[in-house]
Amino acid sequence: MSEAPRSSPAPANLPDDNNIFWEILLRLPPLPSSLPRASLVCKRWRRLLSDTRFLRRFRAHHKTPPQLGFFTQSFTEPLFVPTLSAPDRIPSARFSLPQPTSIGWILIGCRHGFAAFLDMTRWEAVVWEPVTGSHFRIAFRPEVKSDDDHYIFNGAVLNSAGINGNDPL
């Protein structure tokens, strides 16, 4: 007598909740093109990837975002140098400086998404957020202005509200 062939049990159905998709999508690399490209897969993924709770978990999971590039001081003006490869490479023109009113802008530093410059012609500090393009100017107090014997070599940006209004600098 021959035995009847054994059939394998039917695979268990996966839960139809979004948690399993979140766990998978959290493992996407934290590159600028990852989430937009994954959101093109289907409407469900687009909805999940645009959910603010998912985006918060995605940032928390990856902790440190990738370095998009850096600013360097050339002889004429500060320049943005991108560091990522295509398709994540940010063109230098995307982070072009706000229109300086004069020659003599000096890069003094970047921190937490802000760049700080000195406008030596107008005696102002310029704080710029390259991602949004917003910037503001802070005039030097009379006692800070330099003369032939004193120079400004360094500076820092302090944000009392912190990043996104809740994180300390």
Instruction: Render pLDDT for 75-120 as a digit per residue (tens, 0 to 9).
Output: 767 778 888 888 888 888 787 776 655 566 788 888 777 888 888 7
Output the CA angle 104-107-113, nearest 5 degrees. Answer: 140
128 and 55 both lie in a single domain: no
Question: Final residue of a domain: which of 35, 62, 89?
Answer: 62
133 and 75 both lie in a single domain: yes
Query: Could you tell me the CA-to-CA distances from 158 to 54, 82, 126, 127 in Å, in that order?
Result: 29, 25, 13, 10
**133 touches 98 (CB < 8 A):** yes
Kindly state whether residue 152 falls inside one of the protein's structural domains.
yes
Which carries the bigger pLDDT value, residue 113 or residue 144?
113
Radius of gyration of the chain (CA): 25
27 and 79 both lie in a single domain: no
Q: Domain containing 44: what range?
A: 19-62
pLDDT at 1: 56
42 and 99 both lie in a single domain: no
53 and 93 both lie in a single domain: no
Kindly state whether residue 34 falls inside one of the protein's structural domains.
yes
